C-alpha cells in the first residue's frame, strides 16, 4: 500500500478516553483522503483554482 495512504490511515485513529482505547474512524479517513486529493490536484496540475478545490471538497461533504 502507498506510504501516504498508511500515514493518513494512522491519522484516522481516534483515542477514546472513557474506554482507554482507540478506534479507526472511517469518516475521518475518507475526509483526509479527499483533502489530500484536492491538495495534490491543485498543487501538481496547477489547473484547479481555489473555487474548484472548494467545490471538490463540498461534493464529498468535507469542510475546509
| Rounded alpha-carbon distances, angstroms, from residue 43 to 26, 40, 46, 49, 62 | 26, 5, 6, 10, 19
pLDDT band at 37 (very low <50, low <70, confident <90, very high): confident
Residue with grid cell 472511517, as numbered in its chain: 26
pLDDT at position 31, please? 92
pLDDT at position 47, please? 61
pTM here? Answer: 0.73
SS3 category, 37: helix
Compute the distance between CA of residue 36 and CA of residue 18 in angstroms, rounded to an integer: 31
Amino acid at each position: 500500500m502507498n506510504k501516504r495512504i498508511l500515514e493518513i490511515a494512522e491519522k484516522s485513529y481516534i483515542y477514546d478516553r472513557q474506554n482507554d482505547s482507540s478506534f479507526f474512524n472511517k469518516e475521518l479517513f475518507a475526509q483526509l483522503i479527499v483533502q489530500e486529493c484536492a491538495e495534490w490536484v491543485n498543487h501538481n496540475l496547477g489547473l484547479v483554482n481555489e473555487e474548484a478545490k472548494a467545490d471538490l471538497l463540498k461534493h464529498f461533504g468535507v469542510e475546509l
